Structure 1
Amino acid sequence: MTPEPLGGRASAVQAEADNHPTVRTRDAASIMLLDRSGRHVRVLMGKRHSAHVFMPDLYVFPGGRRDPGDHRLKFAGDLHPAVLRSLRENEGRAITEARARALALAAARELYEEAGVSLGRAHKRQEAALPFLPDLSNLRYMARAITPPGLPRRFDTRFFAVFADEAEIDPSLVLESQELQDLQWIDVNDFSSLRVPEITAIILSDLRTGLESEPSLPPERTVPFYFTRHGRFHRTLL
């Protein structure tokens, strides 16, 4: 599908990009943990430490880059076939199933490392990389975004969502970490009190639209893909 330019939204990002040399993109994953127990759906967000080079002092979803070890993580439940299929799409060049699954496993690992939330069954094996077996079966693939050229860090990030009740997660059991501080449950309809990256605001807007269209966020969905080309911010669909 032909990319749709989003014009001025990228102006501030592009201005910052001009100050840094081009760096290679790295795979990353981010996860929106959703609490729908109240009147409005809430999403877990936290503030990045001020010492971070990439997006300091901004509120984001738990997430981070895909580590080499994520390929080797054992899991209890696999991705929905529609989610796995969408994840493998990569501008006409499909990525491997193992790499696609590793992105989802990275999201589960980061949720645990940054918020203390286990997305899966606990176990007591001392040699395991995580104290739980990740259950990927309830993950929805929501969006993909590539950091514009020229920024000090560049990531090819896949955004996932999961409902806390489906994953049997208690929303009260979240813990701050060195990566994310001031963890908060934010109403997806009102995050005006937080400083968030522009792409995060866009993804939140997509989330609201998805929830309004179909509150269950079915796995079979069209996934928006955001990227910058020749200084213009684009949106296309996977």
Structure 2
Amino acid sequence: MEVQAHTPIPSAEKPNRSPRPRDAASIMLLDRVNDGVRVLMGRRNKAHVFMPDLHVFPGGRRDAGDHRLPWGGDVHPAVFDRLRAAYGQNATHSRLRALALAALRELHEEASIAIGGPQADGNTALPFLPDLTNLRYMARAITPPGHPRRFDTHFFAVFTDEAGIEPTDIRDSRELEDLRWIDVNDTSTVTMPDITGIILGDLRASLQADASLPFGRPVPFYYTRHGRFVRDLL
């Protein structure tokens, strides 16, 4: 799931209370092709209450057990630093790592892609040991107040060649249909949430600045303050 930027709702239409945003994670799986880059996107089922029939990156809510998932390779120190800038200096590695683990768990659940090695005993919630070493922290966005569901979503990115992923090994799921590779410079073939388009714009700018996507790059943070859509940097 992803957060979505909206025009602020007139006060007369706003509910009395807005739910607290829940932690979520999304992942941009990037495929380098010749001189271009493609990103994996899928369409949310029309039966979904949240953003039906829109193309999004794989992702979803952080589960309570994500911090207990075993992992094979840890988050890059520069990514930990940026995540800590989002959550504060007292945030534990376990809590911050859980966001990256949630992103890879959701990628597996929604596209059958496993980034990591095989489990030794198979006695965990995932059939693989997530490898977090190549994840870049790309963006953070919070659903504006006034919506029945709100998410504090952290967007990660990883290249298929670094992760040992074959781009043809993707399969639709009940969560995401019509999985496809989209040219990051031409998204005209899909309809997506506003915030997805904004973050793709940030991705394009980052690739143009340095195609390797350095781990310690500043991270854009999108949220609403007093009815205004705000962009800060972490």
Q: Mark yes or no: TM-score above 0.5.
A: yes
Aligned residue number for residue 139 of structure 1: 135
Of 216-225 and 83-92, deviating more is 83-92
Secondary structure in structure 2 of the residue aligned to 1:108: helix
User: Residue 101 in 1 paired to residue 97 in 2?
Assistant: yes
The percent of aligned pairs where both chains have the same amino acid is 62
User: Residue 51 in 1 paired to residue 51 in 2?
Assistant: no
Alpha-carbon spacing, 1:95–1:16, altered in 2? closer, same or farther (3 Å) = farther
Q: Distance in 2 between matches of 1:131 and 1:116?
A: 11
Q: Which residue among 152, 161, 165 is the counterpart of 2:161? A: 165
Q: Per-residue deviation at 1:91?
A: 6.4
TM-score of the two chains, using structure 2 as the length reference = 0.93
Q: Distance in 2 between matches of 1:152 and 1:16?
A: 15
Match for 1:198: what amino acid? D
Secondary structure in structure 1 of the residue aligned to 2:8: helix
Q: Per-residue deviation at 1:124?
A: 5.4
1:213-232 aligned within 5 A: 213-232=209-228
Q: Distance in 1 between matches of 2:88 and 2:128?
A: 35
Q: Distance in 2 between matches of 1:91 and 1:46?
A: 29
Any conservation in 1 of the 2:9–2:146 contact (CA below 8 Å)? no
Match for 1:153: what amino acid? R
Aligned length: 229
Gaps of 5+ in 1: 1-8
Gaps of 5+ in 2: none
1:28-43 aligned within 5 A: 28-43=24-39
User: Residue 84 in 1 paired to residue 80 in 2?
Assistant: yes
Any conservation in 2 of the 1:63–1:111 contact (CA below 8 Å)? yes
Aligned residue number for residue 15 of structure 1: 9
Q: Distance in 1 between matches of 2:87 and 2:63?
A: 22
Alpha-carbon spacing, 1:39–1:16, altered in 2? closer, same or farther (3 Å) = farther
Deviations 1:116-164 (A, max 9, x none): 0001012353321101000000000000000001111100000000000
Alpha-carbon spacing, 1:121–1:194, altered in 2? closer, same or farther (3 Å) = same
Deviations 1:70-111 (A, max 9, x none): 010000000110001111123656522211100000000000
TM-score of the two chains, using structure 1 as the length reference = 0.92
Deviations 1:170-216 (A, max 9, x none): 01000110000000100000102211100000000000000000000
Q: Distance in 2 between matches of 1:73 and 1:33?
A: 21
